[in-house]
A and B are shown apart, each in its own frame.
Chain A
Amino acid sequence: MTDNRFTGPILQVEHLKKSFGAHEVLKDISFSVEKGDVVSIIGSSGSGKSTLLRCINFLEQPTDGQIFFQGKNAEHDWPRGQYHANVGMVFQSFNLFNNMTVLQNCTEGQIRVLKRSKKEAEEKALMYLEKVGMTPYIKARPAQLSGGQKQRVAIARALAMDPEVLLFDEPTSALDPEMVGEVLGVMRDLADSGLTMLVVTHEMAFARDVSSRVIFMDAGVITEDAPPAEIFTNPKHPRTREFLSRVLEK
């Protein structure tokens, strides 16, 4: 269903706004993502980073604005299931299906949404589970895994849908420091393989070393959007400078 001839920005967010009651979380957000971009979204807690990601795949309904995927309006011109299959999501709290095994977690979407056969889905799932180093655990249930293992399965589950874009919502924030590395390693490999990624993160090293672009958000607006070298060495906005000096101090 994806259009390979399309050459414009793969994902385009235009004047996106989101309010929860009187509280305006996102104020007029616009940016675009090219195919193969790895965009890190950084900023303080409460700046609207996660809400932005959740609006992009409609887990939250945007109050206003438009999202375009491959040039077509994501809300009106894409069937919702197709859009979700193309724009995957990895959650902070993993959200693996607790009633299924690791393998079933990775085949369920393929079978139900992409209508793949069970055999085809299992082969694909095993391929990605191997990529994240989780093949030995295909029969385990989520409750039997460590946080890092769960997140690697969650990444395999998202990849098994063959998405064009993968959204990561603070994928390492719920992990022990020891397990952060294993998940970041997987994400680094994905970035190298050319997957388009949008990563909300507090891992400054990842943002600096892996991403092709860094977006800094503050109080519901994008205050800076530049290559990592520029943001980390020469931040223009005072808020960016303040934030970076605080997080890089440690």
Chain B
Amino acid sequence: MNLPKTFFGWVGLLIEQYGTMFLRGTGYTLIIALSGTVIGFVIGLLVAILKTIPVVPKDGWLKKIGLKVLNVILNVYVEVFRGTPMIVQSMVIYYGSMSMGIRMPVLFAAILIVSINTGAYMAEIIRGGIISVDKGQKEAATAIGMTHWQSMVRVVLPQAVRNIMPSIGNEFVVNIKDSSVLNVISVNELYFTGKSAAGTYYRYFEAFFIIACIYLVLTFTITRLLRLLEKKMDGSANYTIYGSQSDSKASIKLPREGDVPLD
């Protein structure tokens, strides 16, 4: 077999031989990063909602102590998973569970690790988002009788999430890149496939040049998509005025079933 002489010759050869493997690696990386970010986001939301439950004097001692304990647990979770590297968490969780007799499929383990790691960061990002929403929004919701859960889910969090979309995007991009550390538990993600491909001919530069390009395309595309999503969340800048502006008594047709919904 004739081995290539040039850099791009090697790149071509590696793509030809390992192209499908790289594609599969890309798929794994995307699945891990996407599910990790989504699950982590849900964890973050739950932590944020639980941590902001208000305590009022008429609550019983059980609820008060329960909330205190819950708060301590959630704080420990956030501190531990933000305070240790994900590569170390991978080893501890994967091999730890194995030593307890639980053999997780590696892809499951990978998603689990990225999710709880992301959840710890998301909890803090969402907390920041909640702080960014004017206190009056929650007060208004409370003042018409909505519960903590209702006012958070319907009023505060939608606004908080809009405000933190850039940080959520960051977290997604970080997850695409950082899922590479999962190669330590032999997940077939992108970095792992690069290492395998490089090893055959000892062409590390060329192999990882390809891998770098794929990572860049992934993160660039996703950043653009998230920007589009943000635009969509902001909604239209225009609105329809019904009837006549000078005559507020102008008739309005009530929405009926089968009509185009008002919102």
A binding-site residues for B, Cβ under 8 Å: 57-59, 61, 75-76, 80-85, 88-89, 91, 93-101, 103-104, 108-109, 112-114, 119, 122-123, 126, 130, 133-141, 144, 154, 157-158, 161
B binding-site residues for A, Cβ under 8 Å: 56-58, 134, 136-137, 139-147, 150, 154-155, 158-159, 162, 235, 239-245, 248-250, 252, 254-255, 257, 262-263
Q: Is the CB of A161 within 8 A of B252?
A: no
Question: Could you tell me the distance between the alpha carbons of A148 and B142 in the complex, rounded to whole angstroms?
Answer: 23
Partner of B144, one of A84, A103, A138, A140: A84
Question: Could you tell me the distance between the alpha carbons of A165 and B162 in the complex, rounded to whole angstroms?
Answer: 35
Q: Is the CB of B154 within 8 A of A108?
A: yes
**Closest approach, in angstroms, between the C-beta of A216 and any C-beta of chain B?**
25
**Closest approach, in angstroms, between the C-beta of A156 and any C-beta of chain B?**
12
Who on chain A is nearest to B56 by CB?
A: A61
**Closest approach, in angstroms, between the C-beta of B242 and any C-beta of chain A?**
5
Q: Known contacts A99-B155, A137-B241: does B143 contact A57 (CB below 8 Å)?
A: yes
10 contacts between A and B (CB under 8 A): A59-B143, A80-B145, A84-B145, A85-B145, A91-B143, A93-B134, A95-B134, A119-B255, A136-B245, A138-B252
Question: Could you tell me the distance between the alpha carbons of A109 and B252 in the complex, rounded to whole angstroms?
Answer: 22
Question: Could you tell me the distance between the alpha carbons of A91 and B135 in the complex, rounded to whole angstroms?
Answer: 12
**Closest approach, in angstroms, between the C-beta of B141 and any C-beta of chain A?**
7
Partner of A95, one of B140, B154, B254: B140
Cβ–Cβ < 8 Å partners of B145 in chain A: 80-85, 109, 113-114, 161
Q: Is the CB of B262 within 8 A of A139?
A: yes
Q: Is the CB of A109 within 8 A of B146?
A: yes
Question: Could you tell me the distance between the alpha carbons of A134 and B146 in the complex, rounded to whole angstroms?
Answer: 24
Partner of B243, one of A83, A95, A135: A135
Q: Known contacts A123-B254, A126-B254: does B158 contact A59 (CB below 8 Å)?
A: no
Who on chain B is nearest to A89 by CB?
A: B143
Who on chain B is nearest to A86 by CB?
A: B145
Partner of A88, one of B143, B146, B262: B143
Count chain A CB atoms within 10 A of each CB in B139, B145, B147, B245 and give the residue with the most: B145
Who on chain B is nearest to A123 by CB?
A: B254
**Closest approach, in angstroms, between the C-beta of B252 and any C-beta of chain A?**
5
Partner of A137, one of B58, B239, B257: B239
Q: Known contacts A76-B58, A99-B162, A122-B262: does B144 contact A158 (CB below 8 Å)?
A: yes
Cβ–Cβ < 8 Å partners of B242 in chain A: 135-139
**Closest approach, in angstroms, between the C-beta of A204 and any C-beta of chain B?**
26
Question: Could you tell me the distance between the alpha carbons of A70 and B154 in the complex, rounded to whole angstroms?
Answer: 30
Question: Could you tell me the distance between the alpha carbons of A154 and B159 in the complex, rounded to whole angstroms?
Answer: 19
Q: Is the CB of B235 within 8 A of A141?
A: yes
Who on chain B is nearest to A158 by CB?
A: B144
Question: Could you tell me the distance between the alpha carbons of A241 and B245 in the complex, rounded to whole angstroms?
Answer: 44
Question: Could you tell me the distance between the alpha carbons of A16 and B239 in the complex, rounded to whole angstroms?
Answer: 46
Q: Is the CB of B141 within 8 A of A97?
A: yes
Q: Known contacts A103-B262, A135-B243: does B144 contact A91 (CB below 8 Å)?
A: no
**Closest approach, in angstroms, between the C-beta of A16 and any C-beta of chain B?**
14
Question: Could you tell me the distance between the alpha carbons of A154 and B255 in the complex, rounded to whole angstroms?
Answer: 22
Who on chain A is nearest to B251 by CB?
A: A135
Who on chain A is nearest to B239 by CB?
A: A140
Q: Is the CB of A136 within 8 A of B248?
A: yes
Question: Could you tell me the distance between the alpha carbons of A121 and B252 in the complex, rounded to whole angstroms?
Answer: 15
Q: Is the CB of A59 within 8 A of B263?
A: no
Q: Is the CB of A91 within 8 A of B154?
A: no
Q: Is the CB of B248 within 8 A of A134?
A: yes
Who on chain B is nearest to A103 by CB?
A: B262
Q: Known contacts A95-B136, A95-B137, A123-B254: does B248 contact A133 (CB below 8 Å)?
A: yes
Cβ–Cβ < 8 Å partners of B249 in chain A: 130, 133
Count chain A CB atoms within 10 A of each CB in B56, B144, B154, B243 and give the residue with the most: B144
Q: Known contacts A101-B263, A158-B144: does B139 contact A95 (CB below 8 Å)?
A: yes
Q: Is the CB of A138 within 8 A of B137?
A: no
Question: Could you tell me the distance between the alpha carbons of A133 and B162 in the complex, rounded to whole angstroms?
Answer: 31
Cβ–Cβ < 8 Å partners of B136 in chain A: 91, 93-95
Cβ–Cβ < 8 Å partners of A133 in chain B: 248-249
Cβ–Cβ < 8 Å partners of A91 in chain B: 136, 139-140, 143
